[in-house]
Amino acid sequence: MASKTKNAQFDAKKTLDTVEQQFETLQILNEEGEIVNEAAMPSLSDEQLQELMRRMVYTRILDQRSISLNRQGRLGFYAPTAGQEASQLASQYALEKEDFILPGYRDVPQIIWHGLPLYQAFLWSRGHFEGMNVPEGVNVLHPQIIIGAQYVQTAGVALGMQKRGQKSVAITYTGDGGTSQGDFYEGINFAGAFKSPAIFVIQNNQFAISTPREKQTAAKTLAQKAVAAGIPGVVVDGMDPLAVYKATRDARERAVNGEGPTLIETITYRYGPHTMAGDDPTRYRTKDLDNEWEKKDPLVRFRKFLENKGLWSEEQETEVIEQAKEDIKEAIKKADAAPKQKVTDLMSIMFDDMPDYLKEQYEVYKAKESK
Amino acid sequence: MAQMTMIQAITDALRTELRNDPNVLIFGEDVGVNGGVFRATEGLQAEFGEDRVFDTPLAESGIGGLAIGLALQGYRPVPEIQFFGFVFEVMDSIAGQMARMRYRSGGRYTSPVTIRSPFGGGVHTPDMHADSLEGLMAQTPGVKVVIPSTPYDAKGLLISSIRDNDTVIFLEHMKLYRSFRQEVPEEEYTIPLGKADVKREGNDVTIVTYGAMVHESLKAAEELEKEGHSAEVIDLRTVWPIDIETIIASVEKTGRVIVVQEAQKQAGVAAQIVAEINDRAILSLEAPVLRVAAPDTVFPFPQAEAVWLPNYKDVIETAKKVLSF
């Protein structure tokens, strides 16, 4: 008996394989724009499908224009979004107005479509305090720079909604690299322990700056990290707007019905650099890899899908592009018109009730500013 | 009026605010049914329910995030960090996040969070329980840092902290939890944040201090009195922002000052106070402003506390140096 126990081996491979099998990738539209999973097809009207396409095209243009405005020095910090339109916009499209978004630094498009005026997004990029003075009734937070912090905060927002008895959810986003953070695990684990209405999205765009996803973890999927929190995890084709919409909508349904949080991994790609602050993807990515992912472009497949249904035309697309360019021009103009920040402004947004030491410094700067 | 220990006064303040404001939520590790590791939240869950007073998983960073998120939904969170040595796990949520919420959002969102946490030496706790880390917090724009030294102050300051619309770090010295009783009014009252308290009036030397060192300073003042020196003891009560006005008024009267803290000399807030006095009252000074502080080592192994922690003898010695300068 003793010798038998000694030789018996725990079947590690079986354990890993069994777990991995639970996390197959959900896809509805293939690269050719064909429905490959009719059963999972979300119920969206023709108008809704067109609106989703409109937002994706608009956001692609926003990315192109933002990169060029950044190069002209007319924008500051900017993290490119091209390639992630399905992942970002179809997930936001599955939300309701009362849902609260806690974005990462790349997730500006989601909060724009949730109601943040474009010129404010530009002010945020430039570094102006009015940028994230979010209008009343728009339920979004500023893009989070500390990777993972938005996850623990989401657990708190979701618990707040639950305590208030609201039928709404808190949704947050991080990248593949972000899943290595402690706050990532703590966030999903807290939401699980409190059974709170949260949706945690991992946008796996394959790289965290120059570090490939394989160097973050030996786990075969990132969605399976949900197992550690005891919550459901789903892998979706992040280049497929219908799959992303479906997964988010289902997670929302579960959440508002009191069944707790969900972790969604979208498999996606960023066509551009990590940020516009000097990152050069040719140092760590091959042309072949870029080409492979360009074939998966969410706009290409969704365009084909809609054209086959007679719901999209070149004229419609041109109209969206022109509209986007026009809006962007207006927004930049409005951002230009924002008053320059003064030190006294920064002091006045520190506390509700300004402490004496700040009042003293306020007077000093007020005198300087009036010269 | 009732005779209360500091821990009872804290529980009383928490009960008062749970009653007054339905948005007040208390949470942390073992603060619910257990009533807290020091009984600070004893009976509160039984009285107000699990919806108001609840336990969390064991993760300080998660607790910080939870507080921020709940505040975004209109709650007034009063989380607990079991021992302040564990603050390193939640430094981002405090210094990187809640302290900056109002500023980052141009005033749109706030973090009216009061973080309660025990600290302080003299009770032979294990590693990382007793460290005085208020200096880290005092260097964080966007927060206030409160350290009471008496039951009366603890209650009034905690009620004010909870009602404050910005983040307050409320540090409770473990040695003071049950070391003495004091008359504490049963009804609610507040003590303004940022206001020091002259615990003993004197004319020859000013002793500026806070936390457990208030009592060491009062003891030292009694001894000094026997030798004919009259010491004024100022209890800061809020270590950030500092009540400069009260300090300077005293310095202008006595002309001599020492600053007494339990933290290491390179930590705490003593250096900040010395700098303010030099900036504002150098012409009143008869002697340099000296500091009583712990040696610049890691907090001592429990058996070495007695030789390491500053006490009334150090206060007397330093006061005499200043008096005979």
- The minimum CA-CA distance between B159 and chain A, rounded to whole Å, is 16
- How many whole angstroms separate alpha carbon B190 and alpha carbon A135? 34
Across the range B277-290, mean pLDDT stands at 98
Bridge-based pairing of strands B76-79 and B143-146 is unpaired
Residue A140: DSSP 8-state: B
Q: Which tens digit of pLDDT belongs to each residue from A260-290?
A: 999 999 999 999 999 999 899 999 999 999 9
- How many whole angstroms separate alpha carbon A110 and alpha carbon A112? 5
Across the range A120-144, mean pLDDT stands at 98
- How many whole angstroms separate alpha carbon B192 and alpha carbon B12? 18
Q: Which tens digit of pLDDT belongs to each residue from B76-118?
A: 999 999 999 999 999 999 999 999 999 999 999 999 999 999 9
pLDDT number for residue A224 = 98
Which positions in chain B touch A155 (Cβ < 8 Å)?
62, 65-66, 69
Cis peptide upstream of residue B241 (ω within 30 degrees of 0): yes
Q: What is the spatial order of strands in the sheet that A170-175 belongs to?
A: A25-26, A233-237, A262-267, A198-204, A170-175, A100-102
Q: Which tens digit of pLDDT belongs to each residue from B117-174?
A: 999 999 999 999 999 999 999 999 999 999 999 999 999 999 999 999 999 999 999 9
Q: Given an 8 Å threshold on Cβ–Cβ distance, is B62 in contact with A186?
A: yes
Shortest CA distance from B67: residue in chain A: A156
- The minimum CA-CA distance between B99 and chain A, rounded to whole Å, is 9
Across the range B279-294, mean pLDDT stands at 98
* Closest of B75, B81, B76, B78 to residue B61, by C-alpha: B81
Across the range A178-195, mean pLDDT stands at 98
10 Å CB burial of residue A21 (0-12, 13-18, 19+) is exposed
What does pTM read for this prediction? 0.97
CA distances from B218 to B93, B205, B291 (A): 37, 13, 16
Residue of B129, B173, B215, B229 marked active site: B129
Strand partners, B258: B207, B290
- Whole-number average pLDDT of chain B: 98
- The minimum CA-CA distance between B62 and chain A, rounded to whole Å, is 5
- How many whole angstroms separate alpha carbon B227 and alpha carbon B323? 12
Q: Given an 8 Å threshold on Cβ–Cβ distance, is A350 in contact with B142?
A: yes
Q: What percent of chain A has pLDDT over 70?
A: 98
The rounded radius of gyration (Å) of the Cα atoms in chain B is 19
Across the range A196-203, mean pLDDT stands at 98
* Closest of B274, B253, B94 to residue B166, by C-alpha: B94
- Token pair of B215 as six digits: 């009592």
Q: Which candidate in B104, B161, B272 is best for mutational testing of the A interface (most A CBs within 10 A)?
A: B104
- How many whole angstroms separate alpha carbon B190 and alpha carbon B178? 22
10 Å CB burial of residue A339 (0-12, 13-18, 19+) is exposed
Chain A contact for B166 (CB, 8 A cutoff): yes
Q: How many Cβ pairs closer than 8 A exist between chain A and B?
A: 135
Which positions in chain A touch B62 (Cβ < 8 Å)?
152, 155, 183, 186-187, 189-190
Give yes or no for residue A6 having a pLDDT over 70: no
- Is the distance from CB of A227 to CB of A189 less than 8 angstroms? no
- DSSP H stretches of helix in chain B: 6-20, 44-48, 60-72, 91, 101-104, 134-138, 151-163, 213-226, 244-254, 270-281, 305-308, 312-323
Give yes or no for residue A7 having a pLDDT over 80: no
Give yes or no for residue B239 having a pLDDT over 80: yes
- How many whole angstroms separate alpha carbon A117 and alpha carbon A120? 5
CA distances from B129 to A102, B83, B132, B173, B311 (A): 34, 5, 9, 11, 19
User: Which amino acid appears at position B185 of this protein?
Assistant: P
Shortest CA distance from B238: residue in chain A: A355
Which positions in chain A touch B109 (Cβ < 8 Å)?
134, 141
pLDDT number for residue B1 = 80
The rounded radius of gyration (Å) of the Cα atoms in chain A is 23
Give yes or no for residue A5 having a pLDDT over 80: no
Q: What percent of chain A has pLDDT over 90?
A: 96
- How many whole angstroms separate alpha carbon A19 and alpha carbon B207? 65
> How much is the ipTM here?
0.97
* Closest of B62, B72, B60 to residue B116, by C-alpha: B60
Of A133, A163, A183, the CB nearest to B108: A133
Confidence of residue A9 (pLDDT cuts 50, 70, 90): confident
Give yes or no for residue A4 having a pLDDT over 90: no
Give yes or no for residue A41 having a pLDDT over 90: yes
pLDDT number for residue A240 = 98
Indicate if A284 belongs to the active site. Answer: yes
- The minimum CA-CA distance between B100 and chain A, rounded to whole Å, is 8
* Residues whose CB falls within 8 Å of the CB of residue A310, separated by 6 or more in sequence, listed in order: none
* CB < 8 Å from A in window 193-252 of B: 194, 241-242, 244-245
Indicate if B124 belongs to the active site. Answer: no
- Whole-number average pLDDT of chain A: 96
- How many whole angstroms separate alpha carbon A105 and alpha carbon A110? 11
Confidence of residue B73 (pLDDT cuts 50, 70, 90): very high
pLDDT number for residue B43 = 98
Chain A contact for B60 (CB, 8 A cutoff): no
pLDDT number for residue A8 = 76
Q: Which tens digit of pLDDT belongs to each residue from A226-256?
A: 999 999 999 999 999 999 999 999 999 999 9
- How many whole angstroms separate alpha carbon B85 and alpha carbon B99? 19
